[in-house]
């Protein structure tokens, strides 16, 4: 490592020598692999037919470790079609620790690549999640992930909240701030993270983190929870930021996080946890939760009037609202007035309006139950994933749009025209 000695000296200012040594010794090890099962699409029994090394996480439901040298779930059609999501098991701790109720309004302030919002959605589909990131390419990548997973309770936005936060004072029940950081927990995954690390970068990140946590706290409802986390091992970005914030905000206090397997707690901040890779099977994370105490409530009016549109019957009565955006019909339940935000995606992207026709989308295919589909055999599934037209003679169905599936996993949309099943599988996913 280029900055090995500098990093060691830096860490030794705040952590015992044995902790620092054990941490540094993990940097030459291979990163861990973990996936989160989408129970709406598959089961662990089904996945074990494809992957041989799956091992259950010791306490997170539906999370499984895998051996990257043997199994490669990122290259499977199951991944492309939302049977699971691959993420660091350390990041899963953020959603695991949160108590989420139906209809909670949740803001994931720095959401990309999306694991936190996705794991929360899979945990509670009735919550309302605003997933924001300042990077447009990263938020578009997140859009692909939530569509293949069939998730509908996430609104994607691309905003710098320092410009709009005053419109959302005292608004959210839960705010997740996985803050931009120096990224030392990425050392095992990416050699560039090692080369890019410096004390100067740590200090610059601290400035950003302090600004973001101040903004986030103002948008939090009284009695709401702010989850603050980083993927940095540095005291300054973690305990340092939180202690400074608590000192300046008398209406903020730390929630006592219950003990979890593989944690480390610094004596300066015993309510928060570190996940070091020599204690916990993951790349590393700092997590704490802050509760807001205040009697100030927002009187902001909610605009519930939305344009009504006629839809084909797809058993979509679960959704309360409809909206047309860029020739797409979106269905959603979020009641917040989001007119000041640059919205990229809102709820279920159900239909594309083309030539006065409502064409069902890839996202809709992955939201609807798997029993509403034309079942493909393995040969047909390979053709579909390649983008080819499939020929089906004697298929006793009217011409029109249908979902196709393989091995009980919805793949996407076709249009039946006679014996031809025309392919609507997204070009970017084709194998």
pLDDT at res. 121: 96
pLDDT at res. 306: 33
CATH number of 4-24+89-109+161-292, picked from 3.30.420.40, 3.20.190.10, 3.20.20.70, 3.40.50.150: 3.40.50.150
- What would the pLDDT profile of 137-192 be if each residue is shown by its tens digit? 999 999 999 999 999 999 999 999 999 999 999 999 999 999 999 999 988 888 88
Q: How far apart are the first and last CA of the chain?
A: 37
Task: Return all residues near 309 (Cβ < 8 A) that are at least 6 apart.
Answer: 322, 324, 329
pLDDT at res. 141: 93
Token pair listed for 314: 């797809």
- 390 touches 423 (CB < 8 A): yes
Residue spans of the domains in the chain: they are 4-24+89-109+161-292, 33-87, 369-429
- What would the pLDDT profile of 239-257 be if each residue is shown by its tens digit? 999 999 999 998 998 999 9
Q: Which of 189, 280, 284, 199 is nearest to 233 (CA)?
A: 284
Q: Which of 215, 195, 189, 217 is nearest to 91 (CA)?
A: 189
- What would the pLDDT profile of 321-333 be if each residue is shown by its tens digit? 888 877 888 888 8
Average pLDDT, integer, range 363-375: 86
- What would the pLDDT profile of 286-334 be if each residue is shown by its tens digit? 999 999 985 433 333 323 333 334 344 466 777 888 888 778 888 888 8
Instruction: pLDDT band for 12, please (50, 70, 90 cuts).
Output: very high
Task: Return all residues near 8 (Cβ < 8 A) that are at least 6 apart.
Answer: 20, 24
- What would the pLDDT profile of 385-405 be if each residue is shown by its tens digit? 999 999 999 888 889 999 999
What does the mean pLDDT of the chain come to?
Answer: 90
Q: How far apart are CA 298 and CA 230, in angstroms?
A: 29
Q: Which of 230, 216, 218, 207 is nearest to 285 (CA)?
A: 230
Q: Which of 196, 130, 140 is nearest to 168 (CA)?
A: 130
Residue 29 has pLDDT above 80, yes or no: yes
Instruction: pLDDT band for 2, please (50, 70, 90 cuts).
Output: low
Token pair listed for 127: 């919550």
* Helix (H), strand (E) at residue 346: strand 343-346
Cβ neighbours of 185 (radius 10 Å): 27
Radius of gyration for the alpha carbons in the chain, expressed in angstroms and rounded: 23
Q: How far apart are CA 322 and CA 341, in angstroms?
A: 18
- What would the pLDDT profile of 216-227 be if each residue is shown by its tens digit? 999 999 999 999
pLDDT at res. 135: 95
Q: How far apart are CA 282 and CA 277, in angstroms?
A: 5
pLDDT at res. 87: 96
Across the strands, what pairs with 288? 228
pLDDT at res. 3: 57
Average pLDDT, integer, range 197-202: 95
- What would the pLDDT profile of 82-104 be if each residue is shown by its tens digit? 999 999 999 999 999 999 999 99
Average pLDDT, integer, range 4-33: 92
Q: How far apart are CA 241 and CA 213, in angstroms?
A: 9
Q: Which of 71, 144, 65, 155 is nearest to 106 (CA)?
A: 155
Cβ neighbours of 228 (radius 10 Å): 26
Q: Which residue has the tokens 């249009």?
A: 415
Core vs surface per residue 72-108: b (16+ CB within 10 A) or e: ebeeebbbbbbbbbebbbbbbbbbbbbebeeebbbbb
Q: How far apart are CA 77 and CA 431, in angstroms?
A: 8
- For residue 31, whether the previous peptide bond is cis, meaning omega lies within 30 degrees of 0, is no
Token pair listed for 274: 């570190």
Q: Which fold has domain 369-429?
A: 2.30.130
Q: Note whether 4-24+89-109+161-292 and 369-429 share their fold.
A: no
Residue 259 has pLDDT above 50, yes or no: yes
């Amino acid at each position: 490592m280029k900055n090995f000695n500098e990093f060691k000296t830096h860490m030794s200012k705040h952590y015992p020598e044995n902790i620092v040594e054990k941490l540094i010794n993990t940097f030459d090890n291979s990163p861990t692999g973990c996936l989160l099962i989408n129970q709406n699409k598959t089961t662990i029994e089904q996945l074990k037919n494809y992957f041989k090394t799956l091992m259950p996480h010791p306490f997170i439901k539906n999370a499984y470790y895998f051996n990257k040298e043997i199994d490669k779930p990122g290259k499977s059609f199951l991944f492309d079609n939302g049977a699971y999501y691959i993420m660091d098991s350390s990041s899963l701790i953020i959603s695991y620790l949160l108590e989420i109720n139906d209809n909670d309004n949740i803001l994931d302030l720095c959401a990309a690549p999306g694991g936190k919002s996705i794991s929360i959605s899979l945990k509670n589909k009735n919550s309302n999640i605003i997933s924001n990131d300042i990077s447009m390419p990263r938020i578009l990548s997140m859009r692909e992930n939530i569509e293949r997973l069939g998730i509908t309770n996430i609104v994607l936005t691309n905003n710098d909240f320092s410009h709009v936060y005053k419109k959302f004072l005292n608004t959210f029940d839960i705010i997740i701030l996985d803050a931009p950081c120096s990224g030392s927990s990425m050392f095992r995954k990416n050699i560039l993270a090692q080369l890019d690390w410096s004390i100067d970068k740590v200090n610059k990140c601290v400035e950003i983190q302090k600004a973001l946590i101040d903004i986030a706290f103002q948008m939090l409802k009284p009695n709401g929870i702010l989850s603050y986390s980083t993927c940095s091992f540095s005291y300054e970005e973690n305990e340092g930021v939180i202690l400074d914030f608590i000192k300046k905000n008398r209406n903020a206090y730390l929630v006592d996080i219950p003990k979890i397997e593989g944690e480390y707690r610094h004596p300066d901040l015993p309510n928060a946890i570190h996940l070091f890779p020599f204690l916990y099977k993951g790349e590393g994370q700092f997590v704490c939760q802050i509760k807001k105490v205040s009697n100030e409530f927002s009187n902001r009016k909610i605009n519930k009037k939305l344009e009504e549109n006629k839809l084909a019957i797809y058993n979509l009565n679960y959704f309360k609202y409809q909206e047309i955006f860029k020739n797409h019909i979106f269905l959603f339940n979020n009641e917040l007035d989001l007119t000041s935000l640059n919205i990229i995606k809102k709820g279920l992207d159900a239909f594309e309006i083309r030539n006065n026709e409502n064409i069902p989308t890839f996202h809709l295919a992955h939201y609807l139950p798997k029993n509403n589909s034309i079942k493909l055999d393995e040969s047909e599934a390979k053709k579909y994933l390649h983008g080819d037209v499939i020929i089906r003679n004697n298929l006793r169905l009217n011409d029109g749009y249908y979902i196709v599936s393989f091995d009980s996993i919805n793949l996407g949309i076709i249009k039946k025209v006679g014996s031809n099943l025309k392919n609507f599988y997204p070009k970017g996913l084709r194998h």
